[in-house]
């Protein structure tokens, strides 16, 4: 059974790992990462029925989890957003052995494994 404590536990799980819950305005959120002349702006779109959590990581990357807590159970999708040429929005899947400028995809994969293990314990 899904209870308020389930929602609170999910919120706590993400916040203790440095994630922030996205605040959407008219279904969109803009997240800025990096600093100085190396700033990157990501656009996230609200997914109905899901709470969106994000974490800024090295090299201006972003790790995103969309989480739905419903009666059948907890569903989630994790990805790293990418804005190609400032126009095309892409969702890059986490990848266990990602390297180079996409090493943060491996961090996302590791966090997704931790989340999966936590959900299996519940």
Each residue of 34-49: pLDDT tens digit? Answer: 766 778 889 999 999 9
Please tell me the pTM assigned to this model.
Answer: 0.90
Distance (Å, rounded) from C-alpha 49 to C-alpha 44? 15
pLDDT at position 36: 66
For 44, the enclosing helix (H) or strand (E) is strand 40-45
Of 50, 52, 76, nearest to 62 (Cα)?
52
Q: How many domains does the chain have?
A: 1
State which residues form the domain around 25. 4-32+39-121
Residue 1 has pLDDT above 50, yes or no: no
Tracing tokens 């961090």 back to the chain, one arrives at: 107
Residue 4 has pLDDT above 60, yes or no: no
Distance (Å, rounded) from C-alpha 106 to C-alpha 53? 17
Distance (Å, rounded) from C-alpha 10 to C-alpha 2? 11
The strand pairing partners of 53, in sequence order, are 21, 65
Report, as an integer, the average pLDDT of 58-80.
90
Residue 2 has pLDDT above 60, yes or no: no
């Amino acid at each position: 059974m899904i209870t308020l404590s389930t929602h609170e536990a999910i919120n706590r799980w993400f916040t203790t790992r440095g994630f922030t819950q996205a605040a959407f305005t008219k279904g969109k959120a803009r997240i800025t990462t990096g600093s100085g002349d190396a700033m990157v702006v990501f656009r996230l779109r609200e997914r109905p029925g899901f709470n969106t959590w994000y974490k800024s990581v090295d090299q201006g990357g972003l790790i995103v989890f969309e989480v739905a807590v419903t009666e059948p159970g907890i569903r989630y999708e994790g990805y790293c957003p990418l804005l190609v040429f400032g126009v095309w929005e892409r969702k890059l899947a986490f990848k266990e052995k990602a390297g180079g400028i996409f090493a943060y995809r491996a961090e996302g994969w590791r966090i997704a494994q931790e989340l999966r293990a936590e959900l299996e314990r519940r």
